[in-house]
Amino acid sequence: MNKGLSSLEQQVQKVFKHTRAGSFATRDKYKGNAMRAANWISQEFKLQNLKNLQDKHVAAYAKYLQAQDLKPKTVKDSLSAIRYLHDNAPQSKHAISDNKTLQQEYNFSIPKVQTIKGDRGWTKEEYSKMMDVTREIINSKGIPDDSRSARDFHDVAVMARTMGMRVAEATLASRSQAEEALRTGTYNIGSEAKNGRSRSVPLSPEGRQVLEVRVEITARGDKLFVQRNEKSHHAIDRIEQFNKNHRGKIESLVGRAQRTWTDRHQEKAYTNNLTLHGLRYNYIQDRVQQEIDKGFNREQAAQIVTKEVGHNRADVIYIYLGGKM
């Protein structure tokens, strides 16, 4: 442990040293915010044990951040980091309430943040063309590494588009998870989920085809898309880089127009790039529409879909709708 740190800060460091929930980037971002929160809370409340963290500490810290004229998003990011810390800390004695409850119980308000920055979804044509690009590279018998990345991208894209999985969730799939999904028809996402929120995803017909092939070529105990001696985050980067290298070949004018949005404060237009995460947008948009077609209104549909895709607030789903519906 580093000298000069409070007992609370040392415990935070220990949690982040051992947790594997979320991506490397997520953990790094949360660690900085959590350490700053621990420093302030330890000084203000003389709190020495992380397991005693309570709503009153979190609310007081939120009020302190607001007093520093920090942006609402910064405050919310800090609260998210504290919840991540709390979820991964051992033997916590108290539950930490959501933002809405904290604001109601402790008489403060965090302004809403403009988070809807247009649509990031792909058009059907763009998705189809990218699948064609991957198959051409796979069948060309060219550079082996290119062929491997094309095949990995193809399968991860299918899981993102037809099962709503994040890039890391799909890339870090293990053979054992795949085998279980093929037996049960449900894919269980564990610690690789963002914020460590495990969930179950219905196995799509397209996802089943992917897993059936991958199980046959993956050794027991290995991951489907991470090569031997390859770090997990390198595999994710490799698959995302494939998309960056080839998206210019398939991006359409219709797609660019769909992904262009205007910042009302800056009065400036932006166009979202084609990313694998955009395929998750497509999945969520489809799922919300399916629920609306059943007779639910938009708010009810968002509430149904939100936990399916690993969120705990329905308003997050509106971001994925990108201003649609």
pLDDT tens per residue across all 325 residues of the chain: 456 889 999 999 999 888 877 777 778 889 999 999 999 999 999 999 999 999 999 999 999 999 988 888 889 999 999 999 998 888 888 999 999 999 999 999 988 765 678 899 999 999 999 999 999 999 987 777 789 999 999 999 999 999 999 999 999 999 999 999 999 999 999 888 876 778 999 999 999 999 999 999 999 999 999 998 999 999 999 999 999 999 999 999 999 999 999 877 667 899 999 999 999 999 999 999 999 999 999 999 999 999 889 887 777 898 899 877 6
Is there a single domain that holds both residue 218 and residue 263? no
Is there a single domain that holds both residue 48 and residue 133? no
In a domain, 112, yes or no: no
Copy the structure tokens of residue 19: 């947790």
pTM for the whole thing? Answer: 0.68
Angle between the 277-293 and 144-163 helix axes, to the nearest 10 degrees?
20
Boundary of a domain, candidates 249, 278, 294: 249
Is there a single domain that holds both residue 154 and residue 222? yes
Is there a single domain that holds both residue 146 and residue 177? yes
For residues 157 and 191, give the distance between their C-alpha atoms in angstroms, rounded to a whole number. 20
| pLDDT value at residue 1 | 46
Residue 89, C-beta contacts closer than 8 angstroms, at least 6 positions apart: 11, 15, 50, 51, 53
Query: Into how many domains does the chain fold?
Result: 3
In a domain, 273, yes or no: yes
Is there a single domain that holds both residue 155 and residue 229? yes
In a domain, 206, yes or no: yes
Copy the structure tokens of residue 176: 């054992």
Boundary of a domain, candidates 230, 249, 268: 249
Length of the chain: 325
What is the span of the domain harbouring residue 166? 124-249
